[in-house]
Amino acid sequence: MAAALQCWSDSLKEAKKTALLHEGKRKVHYLFADGKEMAEEHDLKTDELIVRKWRKKSTLGAPGQWEVEVGDPSTMQTSEPHLIKESSSNPSIDT
């Protein structure tokens, strides 16, 4: 157990991290050496973890879908109202 905890701690330390403050939340994106990504959102006032989600690349290397570990997946989809999605024929904008 202690070895696994140390390994996780080392992975977090070595990950490339990007952080920003937005709408009362601290958002942190982690990119791990194995290509996995983790995104977390914390409430700035309480430091409570609101969302944690993971994404890994597909077999062909394309980004996969986000898998929500903590938080409500239904609210995550509506938190970004305007998204541009790639398309083989033409782009579409969701509103």
- Whole-model pTM? 0.68
Quote the CA–CA distance of 50 and 55 in Å, as a whole number. 17
Domain ranges of the chain: 15-94
pLDDT bracket for residue 75 (50, 70, 90): low
Per-residue pLDDT of 15-44, as tens digits, reads 999 999 999 999 999 999 999 999 999 999
Return the structure tokens found at 8: 């996780």
Question: What is the C-alpha separation between 74 and 79, in angstroms, rounded?
Answer: 9
pLDDT at 89 over 60: yes
Reduce the secondary structure of 60-73 to three states and give it as a string.
Answer: CCCECCCEEEECCH
86, 80, 1, 82: which is closest to 41 by C-alpha?
Answer: 80
